[in-house]
């Protein structure tokens, strides 16, 4: 990757590669998830627990191969019952349905391997089969020319009974070209015990591994293509699908409309019937039914839009709750605030929420009218039905149904503009003569 960042912490769809594997695993509702860490293990472990604090981590040091990696989980899973699945943090596109097919295949086989037919098998391990039976997995380094001609390849994903898996791994040797403990050896070890091994097939694209920046870009493109297809099939309108970018956990209801060039960060939910217009950037927010956002709006973490809220162009909302029917039309920042139902926020309004050390909250009541270019210096409260005059700086609470005006009195000097311009032009002429 040519990077200081651990490979599995590089991002696809706004989330680390590691989180994609964890999300797929979590979809199966497992009793436990264990992450095996190696290079920069502290950062990887922190990312795993940030995804879900229940994730357990173990360290592989030194790193002696895939079987050795899985073996590091054996002590803490010694009493585990049921099924175990081995996933890879640098293979982010494996789907939940594929894993469920592997679990179903366990009724026929003691060990199940996920395989795929490769257009260019390259250095993948080859799956050696006899009908429905998997005989062995041959690593490329150890394969004969005839075996290298096989296009059925190993993804690395394994499903087996937990006790069987760790029992087989305990017998794996490192008598191979790389002197590593290969997880793939468990197939032949299982067969030597009279246990059956089988293969579940998936599309090659699902098994894409990320080892370079180019492959990272390929994974991003593949994820976005799949996410866009899913959205369209689930009843979401995408007016320019190829320009919309989804995050790993984006949720959009049917009959929502998403305009062009919309970017979704993590933690966004858009309810049915909402509309996100073009060139919006959303992260960590909830948008309710009937709300409209944009164009050119930004919703940051903690933004909560109730039904029929309108957020217009060049508006930024952060850590703020906008109740039903609120209108924030344009050129406004609402941060650390609560805005009551059917309140109108005028253009150029700013909630001044930060004093350089701490954040403070603004509370605006129902049916209030905030005049254009109002500066609300938090902490401050504006009551129900109150009004602020355009250009006001509001530093004190405004009672319900009151009018607050906080601006300097206008002074008009008749004819002064002409005299000032004439004086300035004279100064400019004198300077020109000096040159």
Residue at token pair 């005989």: 135
Q: Are residues 133 and 241 in the same domain?
A: no
Q: What is the CATH number of the domain that holds 384?
A: 2.160.10.10
Q: Are residues 177 and 231 in the same domain?
A: no
Q: Are residues 41 and 123 in the same domain?
A: yes
pLDDT of residue 39: 83
- 310 has catalytic annotation: no
Q: Are residues 183 and 231 in the same domain?
A: no
Which of 174, 204, 239 minimizes the C-alpha distance to 91? 204
- The angle that helices 17-27 and 96-105 make with each other, rounded to 10 degrees, is 50
pLDDT, tens digit, 9 for 90 and up, residues 379-395: 999 999 999 999 999 99
Q: Are residues 143 and 217 in the same domain?
A: no
Whole-number Å distance between alpha carbons of 210 and 223: 13
pLDDT of residue 42: 95
CB burial of residue 284 (10 Å; 0-12, 13-18, 19+): middle
Which of 188, 222, 217, 190 minimizes the C-alpha distance to 205? 222
pLDDT of residue 108: 96
Whole-number Å distance between alpha carbons of 145 and 192: 25
Whole-number Å distance between alpha carbons of 417 and 429: 18
Question: Is 415 inside a domain boundary?
Answer: no
330 forms bridges with which residues in the sheet? 313
Whole-number Å distance between alpha carbons of 172 and 36: 18
Question: Is 362 inside a domain boundary?
Answer: yes
Exposure pattern of 12-25 as b/e (b: 16+ CB <10 Å)?
bbbbbbbbbbbbbb
Asked if residue 33 lies in contact with residue 21, where contact means CB atoms within 8 angstroms, the answer is no
Residues of the chain with pLDDT under 50: none
| Pair of tokens at residue 46 | 């922190």
In the set 117, 281, 330, 342, the catalytic residue is 330
pLDDT, tens digit, 9 for 90 and up, residues 227-243: 999 999 999 999 999 99
pLDDT of residue 428: 92
Residue 231 belongs to what domain range?
A: 213-404
The pTM of this model reads 0.91
pLDDT of residue 435: 67
Q: Are residues 178 and 224 in the same domain?
A: no
Count of domains observed in the chain: 2
Q: Are residues 137 and 161 in the same domain?
A: yes
pLDDT of residue 177: 78
DSSP string across 280-292: -EE-S-EE-TT-E
Question: Is 426 inside a domain boundary?
Answer: no
Q: What is the CATH number of the domain that holds 47?
A: 3.90.550.10
Q: Are residues 228 and 330 in the same domain?
A: yes
pLDDT of residue 141: 87
Q: Are residues 163 and 25 in the same domain?
A: yes
Dihedral, CA atoms, 220, 225, 226, 229, nearest 10 degrees?
160
pLDDT of residue 433: 86
- The angle that helices 17-27 and 41-51 make with each other, rounded to 10 degrees, is 40
């Amino acid at each position: 990757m040519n990077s200081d960042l651990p490979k599995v912490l590089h991002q696809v769809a706004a989330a680390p590669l590691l989180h994609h594997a964890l999300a797929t695993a979590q979809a199966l509702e497992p009793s436990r998830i264990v992450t095996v860490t190696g290079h920069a293990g502290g950062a990887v472990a922190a990312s795993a627990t940030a995804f879900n604090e229940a994730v357990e981590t173990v360290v592989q040091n030194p790193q002696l191969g895939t079987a050795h990696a899985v073996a590091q989980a054996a002590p803490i899973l010694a009493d585990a019952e049921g099924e175990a699945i081995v996933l890879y943090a640098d293979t982010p596109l494996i789907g939940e349905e594929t894993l469920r097919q592997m679990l179903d295949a366990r009724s026929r086989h003691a060990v199940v391997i996920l395989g795929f037919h490769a257009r260019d098998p390259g250095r993948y391990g080859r799956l050696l089969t006899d009908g429905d039976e998997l005989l062995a997995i041959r690593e490329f380094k150890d394969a004969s020319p005839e075996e290298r001609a096989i296009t059925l390849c190993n993804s690395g994903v394994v499903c087996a009974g937990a006790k069987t898996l760790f029992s087989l791994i305990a017998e794996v040797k490192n008598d191979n070209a790389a002197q590593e403990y290969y997880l793939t050896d468990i197939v032949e070890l299982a067969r030597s015990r009279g246990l059956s091994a089988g293969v579940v097939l998936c599309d090659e694209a699902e098994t894409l591994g990320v080892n370079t920046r180019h492959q990272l870009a390929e994974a991003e493109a593949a994820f976005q293509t799949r996410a866009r297809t899913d959205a369209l099939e689930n009843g979401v309108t995408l007016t320019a699908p190829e320009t919309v970018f989804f995050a790993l956990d984006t949720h959009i209801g049917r009959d929502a409309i998403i305009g062009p060039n919309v970017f979704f960060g993590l933690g966004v939910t858009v309810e049915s019937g909402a509309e996100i217009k073009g060139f919006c950037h959303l992260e960590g927010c909830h948008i309710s039914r009937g709300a409209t956002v944009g164009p050119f709006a930004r919703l940051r973490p903690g933004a909560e839009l109730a039904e029929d809220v309108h957020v217009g162009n060049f508006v930024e909302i952060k850590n703020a709750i906008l109740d039903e029917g609120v209108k924030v039309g344009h050129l406004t920042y609402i941060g650390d605030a609560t805005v009551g139902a059917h309140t109108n926020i005028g253009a150029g309004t700013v909630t001044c929420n930060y004093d350089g050390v701490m954040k403070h909250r603004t509370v605006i009541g129902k049916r209030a009218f905030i005049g254009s270019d109002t500066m609300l210096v938090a902490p401050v409260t504006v009551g129900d039905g109150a009004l602020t005059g355009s250009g006001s700086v509001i530093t004190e609470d405004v009672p319900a149904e009151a009018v607050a005006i906080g601006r300097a009195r206008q002074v008009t000097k008749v004819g002064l503009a002409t005299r000032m311009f004439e004086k300035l032009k004279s100064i400019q002429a004198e300077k020109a003569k000096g040159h």
